[in-house]
Amino acid sequence: MDIVIMHRTTTSLLLGVVLTANLSAKIGVKKLTDGFNRPVWAGVPKIDKKQLWVMEQHGVITVVDQATGDKSVLLDIHEKVSRQGNEEGLLGLAFSPDFAKSGRFYVNYVDKDKQHHTCISRFTVKNGKVDAAEEEVVLRYVQDFQNHNGGWIEFGPDKMLYIGNGDGGSGNDPNQRAQNLGSLLGKVLRIDVSPQKGYQVPKDNPFVKTKDALPEIWCFGVRNPWRCSFDKKTGDFWIGDVGQNNWEEIDAIPHKKAFGANFGWRLREGDVTTPANGVGGDKPKDSVEPVYVYKHGNGPSEGVSVTGGYVYRGPIAEISGRYIFGDYQNPRIWSFELKSGKAGDFVDHTEQLQPEGGKIKQIASFAEDPEGNLFIVDHSGPIYQVVDVK
């Protein structure tokens, strides 16, 4: 998410024309809760589908009872979390695959150390409560600047923990982190956190035996992956990667093919040579091209800061299998189907997915519950659920 916040596709899809939602389903949103301070993430644990966990950027996690609307603070670590940079903060959360038994979950935040580290920390729910003092920092590494922190973490179909890292910040990756396998920045990491303490590097990680490469790296060449996801049905990996000055991109790749994949940044912005002088270059060998890109602007098919979403696998049959995503600064919501590796049947859902008497202002994140229901996290405070209104 570049909180500062022009349409093109890899197949010249739509030729600049945006289709208003023309699916047979009449979808809408219902507000589940409101009043949060810069919420950036939401999720529902498998053990209690009535719970909605909401993460606020300054360092607080609140549990909302979806039936009553009651709120209770589960974790408050704001004293540890840096908000000095606009994109810093408590940014992501992942429930352990055995959460129902272990109560373990993981968070991604930027700390207040002078150098500003990303921390991947483990916490445990015990009897419905979390003791912040029992935090275990599993992985910690320095950020170059105060933006492009990434922040996404999630368990994949293989029960490994995946971590999305930005390129360290500033602009145009000045330290050339994304293509450097000796840096964790500009990468997606993959680690095994099943041990009681710490983590292990999976033996099948692609660069375990590569000289001068860090073994935690799973794939590389990303700028600022602001919300990734795994398709519940296929396991495919999706990235919403925030662009520099011209293009936003969506990447999609089968899980097995993502081992060692290079998504091209900083040589490529979207599917073209990065326009800045001395930055762009030829497409790296075997690099992965985005399945969809859109141009910077405020038009109906444009934006400035992509917010990656999910392939919908919930109860609304008419939108099943469609990748739903949006833009933070130009708060529009779109979807498409992936057909033969390319985006097709692009639809603009923005007008449908507005609350009655209001408007979604800043799409900070999408969220998914165990049943595939989709939620929208508005950075201005509310959380919405996508619903069938037929």
Residue 2 falls inside a structural domain: no
Residue 77 falls inside a structural domain: yes
Q: How far apart are CA 260 and CA 13, in angstroms?
A: 28
Question: 377 and 308 in contact (C-beta within 8 Å)?
Answer: no
What per-residue confidence (pLDDT) applies to 16? Answer: 41
Mean pLDDT of the chain: 94
> How would residue 49 be classed by pLDDT, with cut points 50, 70 and 90?
confident
Largest CA distance in the chain: 58
Please write the tens of the pLDDT for every residue from 269-281.
Answer: 999 999 999 999 9
Question: 296 and 4 in contact (C-beta within 8 Å)?
Answer: no
What per-residue confidence (pLDDT) applies to 37? Answer: 98
Residue 318 falls inside a structural domain: yes
Whether residue 284 has pLDDT greater than 70: yes
Please write the tens of the pLDDT for every residue from 14-29.
Answer: 434 455 555 556 899 9
User: Two tokens at 179?
Assistant: 């293509």
Residue 366 falls inside a structural domain: yes
> How would residue 371 be classed by pLDDT, with cut points 50, 70 and 90?
very high
User: Two tokens at 74?
Assistant: 């589960």
Per the structure, the count of domains in the chain is 1
Give the CATH number for residue 327: 2.120.10.30
Question: 25 and 316 in contact (C-beta within 8 Å)?
Answer: yes
Question: How many angstroms separate the first and last alpha carbons of the chain?
Answer: 33
Return the residue matching tokens 């293509």. 179
What per-residue confidence (pLDDT) applies to 25? Answer: 60
Q: How far apart are CA 110 and CA 84, in angstroms?
A: 10
Please write the tens of the pLDDT for every residue from 140-184.
Answer: 999 999 999 999 999 999 999 999 999 999 999 999 999 999 999
Whether residue 12 has pLDDT greater than 50: no
- The pTM of the whole model exceeds 0.75: yes
Please write the tens of the pLDDT for every residue from 200-237.
Answer: 999 999 999 999 999 999 999 999 999 999 999 999 99
Rounded to the nearest angstrom, the gap between the alpha carbon of residue 183 and the centroid of all alpha carbons in its chain is: 20
Residue 1 falls inside a structural domain: no
Question: 265 and 173 in contact (C-beta within 8 Å)?
Answer: yes
Closest of 150, 143, 1, 146 to residue 84, by C-alpha: 146
What per-residue confidence (pLDDT) applies to 3? Answer: 46
Q: How far apart are CA 180 and CA 90, in angstroms?
A: 26
Please write the tens of the pLDDT for every residue from 61-115.
Answer: 999 999 999 999 999 999 999 999 999 999 999 999 999 999 999 999 999 999 9
Please write the tens of the pLDDT for every residue from 311-331.
Answer: 999 999 999 999 999 999 999
In sign, the C-alpha dihedral spanning 149, 184, 237, 191 is negative
Q: Taking the CB of residue 130, how many other CB atoms lie within 10 A of it? A: 19
Backbone angles phi, psi at 382, to 5 degrees: -85, 160
Residue 17: is it exposed, middle or buried by C-beta count within 10 angstroms (0-12/13-18/19+)? exposed
Domain that holds residue 381: 7-388
More confident residue, 108 or 390: 108
What per-residue confidence (pLDDT) applies to 50? Answer: 92
